[in-house]
Amino acid sequence: MRSFLIFVTVAVIVISVIQAEYAENNRIEENQLQDTSFNSCKCANNNCGCCEYIDLPRIYINATVCTNITYLPNDYGISMTISYNSDTLFNDTVSVRNPPPICFGEHFIDSLEVDLCIRLHNIDFDKHHLSACVRFEAKVMRCVIAKQEIGCFNIAHQNTQELDVSNRSKTILRKLGFLHEKPIVNMI
């Protein structure tokens, strides 16, 4: 059950981040927020903060899941924090050159290792933009047993941002009751 909780948490976070639709050529003044609250994200410059409220009474989950992502163009990296209520699950900076998957695992039996991972792929970046696609991977004993494409994003030059992804994954989670129509939004 703990792995399922972590999987749902990570799924909601990633879907929230990649569903933020940025208006092409829409300039944002420094410190001015672009309101994308219909999809639970607020972004400014190279930063994006997203939160989703999750209510799964059948498995006793009632929590707010948040992520903050900052593109670090000078370092060619991203700084990412993932939290469940006020508990931080992940807080680190990773390279966008060849980022490792971000995995959360559980050992059900001493010899059975299960991981749920977020992997960035099809990455393109320079000092002015970062684009990538996001995929979930389920692993058993370090072997990928399932993959689910989530979508792709493009963070353009500091003040111009755009994103183009499918709403299919978020729609499915909303119909299953994992996402709510009026999300809770926090900014970085």
**If you count them, how many residues does the chain have?**
188
Gap between the Cα atoms of 175 and 188, Å rounded: 28
Other Cβ atoms closer than 10 A to 12? 27
The closest of 105, 92, 9 to 51, measured between CA atoms, is 9
Gap between the Cα atoms of 46 and 50, Å rounded: 14
For residue range 114-133, list pLDDT tens digits in order. 777 778 888 888 888 877 77
CB of 67 closer than 8 Å to CB of 13: yes
Gap between the Cα atoms of 53 and 65, Å rounded: 6
- Find where tokens 């680190």 sit: 92
For residue range 49-101, list pLDDT tens digits in order. 777 676 666 645 677 777 777 888 888 888 888 777 888 878 989 888 888 88
CB of 114 closer than 8 Å to CB of 106: yes
